[in-house]
Amino acid sequence: MSEDMNQIEVGNFEVGDRVTGQVTKVEEKQVLVDIQNSKLDGIIPISELSSIHIEKASDAVAEGDSLDLEVLKVEEEALILSKRKVDAEKAWDELEQKFQGGEVFNAEVKDVVKGGLVVDLGVRGFVPASLVEAYFVEDFSDYKGKELSFKIVELDKEKNRLILSHRAVVEEEKGRKKQDLLETIQAGEVIEGTVQRITDFGAFVDIGGIDGLVHISQLSHEHVEKPGDVVEEGQKVNVKVLNVDRDNERISLSIKETLPGPWENIAERAPRGTVLNGTVRRLVSYGAFVEVFPGVEGLVHISQIAHKHIGTPHEVLQEGQEVEVKVLDVNEKEQRLSLSIKDLLERDVEENVDYELPEESKGFQLGELLGDKLKNIRNK
């Protein structure tokens, strides 16, 4: 192109003009383009390719791409162009609409920086660490290249400030699920949940967007001292819905109700004649209740406690005492178990003796005593 023609071409463009160019060459730090309806070369410096930092030009464009560009500078033989400024102008308008409408949209995480994530939306969007998830994240390195859903929580075009939140999307979704669940869940349902938190009085279980309380008394058929003894955080459990308080958004759950009852198959586990170890749980005037399985207590009638006569069970037993018992009878339907301690005790020999010999007679035969008396009679 002659110098005069070049001057004419250059004279056709001003800073701020919009042009369309096709990428002809991608170098490391710049891109060359053919400008539509012009013989001038176009150059896009790497800093004008994207709103976010890129290491090489090929991260933003490829050969053959058609780009909308803005003239930054008019030189004698070329135009210095910006893709970033055009993208930003388009982006701000679209982002303003998304912001006003509270729209949720997906975007790829382009970079992980100190304090959060960077997203390219035509302008640089920043996601503070506290707005990434609804829980604490220690390491964000896995988020690079990941696509997430976002909402715009702050937008200021003048300050070039765009703040995004993935956490807001997650919490809104959780809120919707919670309401749906509260409206549809019914007492009596058995569902799977995950133990979220453990307290002194029970465990909170997530049942799909809402936490329900399993009171300590509903954790197991057996007595529980500490909830942490029977469940742990993150554990999958089946729970039965006991009560739904929709006004206060509270759900009462039970793990115990989903477990086999303590009396189930008791006739097989403790048939007549079985000898079991148990713990004395309660003493009453007519006998002792002994727990032989968690949640299963049988009665040792006062007549089955000892061979000798006793006035009250307290004479020979105390609560908490470990004892060995024999099953006399079992009734699974009525949840009754008759037990005996006496049948496992040796009968005391003294109980069959009607009288005792005098203290001085111990170690002598009766015949010897009688013989001595007869001698005395004869001698008289």
Per-residue confidence of the chain (380 residues) as pLDDT tens digits?
445 444 445 557 889 889 998 999 999 899 999 988 777 889 999 999 988 888 888 888 999 999 989 999 988 778 999 998 898 888 898 999 999 999 999 999 999 999 999 998 988 999 999 999 988 998 999 999 999 999 999 999 889 899 999 999 999 988 888 888 888 899 999 999 999 999 999 999 999 878 999 999 999 887 888 999 999 999 999 999 999 998 888 999 999 989 888 888 888 889 999 999 999 999 999 999 999 988 899 999 999 999 999 999 999 999 999 999 999 999 988 889 999 999 998 765 444 444 444 444 444 444 454 445 444 544 44
Task: Name the strand (E) or helix (H) holding 377.
Answer: helix 366-379
Decide which of 136, 170, 204 is a domain's last residue: 170
Alpha-carbon distance 282 to 297, whole Å? 9
pLDDT in tens, 51-92: 888 888 888 899 999 998 999 998 877 899 999 889 888 889
Any idea what DSSP says for residue 335?
A: T
Is the distance from CB of 318 to CB of 283 less than 8 angstroms? Answer: yes
Q: Are residues 323 and 249 in the same domain?
A: no
- Give the C-alpha separation, 106 to 148, whole Å: 5
For the chain, the domain total comes to 4
Question: Do 129 and 102 sit in the same domain of this protein?
Answer: yes
Categorise residue 37: left if φ over 0, alpha if ψ from -120 to 50, beta otherwise: left
Residue 288 in domain: yes
User: What DSSP letter does each residue of 136-152 carry, written as one string?
Assistant: --S--GGGTT-EEEEEE
At a CB cut-off of 8 Å and minimum separation 6, what does 344 contact?
Answer: 275, 324, 325, 326
Which one of 41, 64, 82 terminates a domain?
A: 82
In angstroms, rounded to a whole number, what is the distance separating the alpha carbons of residues 187 and 204? Answer: 17
Q: Quick check: is 132 in a domain?
A: yes
Asked if residue 108 and residue 56 are part of one domain, the reply reads: no
Could you tell me if 123 and 193 lie in one domain? Answer: no
d(CA 167, CA 150): 8
Q: 77 and 95: one domain?
A: no
Residues 91 and 164 in one domain: yes
User: What is the identity of the amino acid at 57?
Assistant: A
Contact criterion met (CB below 8 Å) for 226 and 213: no
Q: Are 255 and 219 in contact (CB under 8 A)?
A: yes
Answer whether residue 156 is part of any domain.
yes
Quick one: tokens of 256?
């115990």
Same domain, 145 and 199: no
Domain region containing 326? 266-344
Q: Does residue 32 sit in the same domain as residue 93? A: no
Strand-pair partners of 70: 18, 82
Same domain, 233 and 288: no
Q: State pLDDT tens for residues 126-159.
A: 999 999 998 899 899 999 999 999 999 999 988 9
Specify if 281 maps to a domain.
Answer: yes
Give me the CATH number covering residue 338.
2.40.50.140
In-domain check, residue 353 = no
In angstroms, the CA 33 to CA 27 distance is: 11
Q: Are residues 62 and 110 in the same domain?
A: no
Judged on CB neighbours under 10 Å (0-12, 13-18, 19+), 339 is buried
Pairing of the two strands 336-340 and 296-301: parallel
Whether residue 333 lies inside any domain: the answer is yes
Rounded Cα distance between 350 and 54, Å, is: 101
The pLDDT, as a whole number, for residue 9 is 55
Domain boundary among 170, 205, 220: 170
Q: Which residues touch 144 (CB under 8 Å, ≥6 apart)?
A: 109, 110, 111, 112
Kindly state whether residue 97 falls inside one of the protein's structural domains. yes
Nearest one of 35, 38, 37 to 6, comparing CA atoms = 38
d(CA 149, CA 225): 44
Same domain, 33 and 63: yes
pLDDT confidence of residue 89: 86
Task: Identify whether 59 is part of a domain.
Answer: yes
**pLDDT for the residue numbered 352:** 46
What confidence score (pLDDT) does residue 378 get? 47
